[in-house]
Amino acid sequence: MRIIVERLQHSGLLPVALIFGTLTAGILIGTIISGSVDAAPETDEPVSDATPLKVPAAERVENQFSELAQKVRPSVVSIYIPASRADEEDDDSGPFSSPEDMFRRFFGIPEGPMPPPRRRGSGQGSGVIVDPKGYIITNHHVVADAERIRVSFVDDDERYDATLIGADAETDLAVIHVKGKTGLQAAKIGNSDAANVGDWAIAIGSPFGYSETVTVGIISALSREMNAARGGRPFQKFLQTDAAINPGNSGGPLLNIRGEVIGINTAIISRTGGYDGIGFALASNIAVKTYNQIVRFGRVSRGSIGVEFSGDQSPSLSRSYGADGGVFVLRTVEDGPAERAGMRAEDIIVSVDGEKIDTGEKLIEVVAAISVGETVPIEVVRDGKTLTLDVKIQDRAKLYAEQSEAEADPSEAEEAAVRFGLTVQEIDPERRDQMRLSQRGGVLITQIEAHSFAEDIGLQQRDVVLEVNREPIDSIRDLRDVQRSLKPGSDVAFKLLRWDSRAWRTVYEAGLIPK
């Protein structure tokens, strides 16, 4: 051995030999140990006394909810809004890069007012088939400004194009139609007036794109209204539920325990951007009336007589003016139906077409249901005496010029050298009351144009414009007049009211109009 080691040492192979020997020894030792382990006698004895688990034969466990879900699921659809071309070119972050953005776009229920998306991006929602011919009810905000509407049905991988039949922003309802799809099953419509607090409520839809999702809760409250700062409108009456409603549920049905549609899921109130236990579904009775007008006329027409009143009127006010109830008229719209019929401020409306009026809400409801152009008798109390006035009902949207754009007519383009890049509407009495806005005057910003002067200086959707360059703004005409007086390079200062989740506060935004 000594001679071998000396020869290896002289030849320079000693290190290699040592490494080889070490590896050989390790393999031998491992083999011996492994062999001793493998040599242990095999046994069928379990290592514990636990009873093995078994999967039973599949047997359906039926209950009322599962039966209802199977019955109604073919009537619920998923709606997809592809991104516009301009949006695809500008945004490389993907259609669902911000769940919070999707939530806000679909529900519009933030702590306070918030600017709108610059363009219609991709989105999704739900809908319910109400006619086997392919007519579907969904929310207006799901399909608003969409260049293309795509619909998918249960057990069908194909997406179908849909056309917009009509929409109503006042109730946030829209009707779309799909051609080329046969064998559709319409959901059964229920009577939302039959709903009671504590009744079971089932929501079906596509939250976050997960189609056919079923959630269960109860009816938490009836006839809920949402103030305008949270996106509410005078003609919306909601069923409140704790059934989970999330972004993507918009436009889907809320069902009673019989599987009847008693509401259209529309909104949630949340501090997190997701389900917080408070959801709202537009009452089905309101949805039915809106749907019937849309499929017949393509739009919804509501009557108005053109009067302003206080939503929190004290009964003492009517009694002081000689009436035992009714609605005290603060003022009439200039050249409106009421004024033309002889109604004036301090009159007290006690009945419309024979129906007793005791609240402003009742007055709106009754008048809105009367056909536009119809003349009806309205009883008022004036100086303690009852008078009957024949008032011709006018279209509410036309009377109040809703969604009027604060821009000059094309024929006046040379005068209106300055454009702020915003859309406003005048604030009618009902909306002012809904907004809890006690201050008089002002116009409401409903949209801010992307890359505009208004956006650059910080104006926001749902701001109320009170003054521009210290000039009071009480109407769209006032804003147009100020615009015409400005030139590129002028300083412009806006005095605004802005909702901050608790109250309206005064803010100022200003800037230099680009040359």
Q: Which residues does residue 385 pair with via DSSP β-bridges, in sequence order?
A: 382
Confidence of residue 23 (pLDDT cuts 50, 70, 90): low
- For the stretch 307-343, pLDDT in tens is 888 766 778 888 888 888 899 888 888 888 999 999 9
Rounded distance between C-alpha atoms, residue 361 and residue 384, angstroms: 23
* Dihedral (Cα; 375, 379, 380, 382), 10-degree rounding: 110
Looking at residue 205, its pLDDT comes to: 87
How many Å apart are CA 140 and CA 116, to the nearest integer? 15
Note whether 331 and 342 are within 8 A (CB): no
- Alpha carbons within 13 A on the beta-carbon side of 384: 1
Among candidate residues 126, 141, 168, 463, the one labeled active-site is 141
As a whole number, mean pLDDT of residues 164-193 equals 90
C-beta of residue 429 within 8 angstroms of C-beta of residue 308? yes
Residue 261 pairs with which residues in a beta bridge?
Answer: 189, 255
* Alpha carbons within 13 A on the beta-carbon side of 303: 21
DSSP 8-state symbol, 186: P
Which position has the higher pLDDT, 110 or 254? 254
Please say if 250 is a catalytic residue.
Answer: yes
CA dihedral 230, 233, 234, 238 (to 10 degrees): -80
Strands 422-426 and 443-448, sheet pairing: antiparallel
Reported confidence tier of residue 262, pLDDT bands at 50, 70, 90: very high
pLDDT band at 175 (very low <50, low <70, confident <90, very high): very high
> Of the ranges 107-121, 168-182, 381-395, 485-499, which one carries the lowest mean pLDDT score?
107-121
Q: What is the pTM of this model?
A: 0.57
Query: Rounded to whole angstroms, what are the CA distances from 406 to 113, 184, 258, 303, 484?
Result: 20, 44, 49, 24, 11
**Least confident interval from 9-23, 402-416, 421-435:** 402-416
Q: Are 296 and 176 in contact (CB under 8 A)?
A: no
Closest CA relative to residue 295, chosen from 455, 449, 152, 135: 135
Determine the average pLDDT of the residues in 395-404: 63
Does an H or E element contain 423, and which?
strand 422-426
Please identify which of the residues 126, 250, 304, 318 carries the catalytic annotation. 250
**Residue 220, CA distances (Å) to 69, 238, 252, 278 in order:** 21, 11, 18, 9
Under 8 Å between Cβ of 154 and 233: no
Q: Average pLDDT, stretch 412-435? A: 68
Give the pLDDT confidence of 24-68 residue by residue, as tens digits.
655 555 555 555 545 445 667 788 888 889 888 877 766 788 888
Kindly report the CA angle at 212 between 208 and 217, in degrees rounded to 5?
A: 85
Q: Which of 78, 126, 172, 220 is catalytic?
A: 172
Structural domains present in the chain: 71-178 (2.40.10.10), 192-297 (2.40.10.10), 303-398 (2.30.42.10), 401-512 (2.30.42.10)
H or E segment and range at residue 101: helix 99-107
Quick check: 133 pLDDT over 80? yes
Rounded distance between C-alpha atoms, residue 6 and residue 357, angstroms? 121
pLDDT band at 103 (very low <50, low <70, confident <90, very high): very low
Structure tokens at 260: 């009847």
Which value, in Å, is the radius of gyration of the alpha carbons in the chain?
Answer: 34
Q: How confident is the model at residue 99 (pLDDT cuts 50, 70, 90)?
A: very low
Dist. CA 490–CA 310, nearest whole Å: 39
Q: Residue range 193-210: average pLDDT?
A: 88
* Rounded CA separation 296/192 (Å): 22
Measured distance CA(389)–CA(21) in Å, rounded: 118
pLDDT band for position 409 (cuts 50, 70, 90): very low
Task: Report residue 135's pLDDT band, with 50, 70 and 90 as the boundaries.
Answer: very high
Phi/psi of residue 235, nearest 5 degrees: -100, 10
Kind and range of the H or E run holding 165 = strand 159-168
